[in-house]
Every structure is written in structure tokens, then in C-alpha cells.
Amino acid sequence: MDSRIQSYLRLAASGQRETEQIGSFLATFNRWWKVNPFLNYAIPNNNATPTLNEVNALR
């Protein structure tokens, strides 16, 4: 995905959800996840090359 789109998504998600940096991902959390669990997701940093440990930490 284009890095400009990913940058925008990280910024937009940060304003509406709780976030946590986990390895090379910005994980976003919706506090009303039971209503819409699909709003909980992670966006990779630009030029991310996640390790297996980072992916496992994210899971």
C-alpha cells in the first residue's frame, strides 16, 4: 500500500481510537469493540519489515 495512505490511516486512527506501538505496527483499539470488532486493527509503519517476534507480539 502506498506509504502516504498508510501514514494518513495511522494519523486518522490515532484521533478516534486508542493506539499502541507494537514493534513496527501501530495497533488501534476501539473501546466499543463488541459493537464493531473490525475497528481493531494494526497498520504497519512505512517501510516496515516486521520480524516474526513482532508479529507474534501483535497477535
Determine how β-strand 18-22 pairs with β-strand 25-29. antiparallel
Residue 59, CA distances (Å) to 2, 8, 40, 52, 56 in order: 24, 23, 12, 11, 5
Number of domains in the chain: 1
Q: What pTM did the predictor assign?
A: 0.73
The C-alpha R_g of the chain, in whole angstroms, comes to 12
Domain of residue 15: give its range: 3-58
Please state, in angstroms and rounded to a whole number, the distance separating the CA atoms of residues 24 and 42. 10
What are the tens digits of pLDDT across the range 4-14?
888 888 888 88
pLDDT, position 15: 80
pLDDT, position 52: 93
What are the tens digits of pLDDT across the range 14-55?
887 889 999 999 998 887 767 777 778 888 888 889 999 999
Please check the confidence at residue 1 and state whether its pLDDT lies above 60. Answer: no
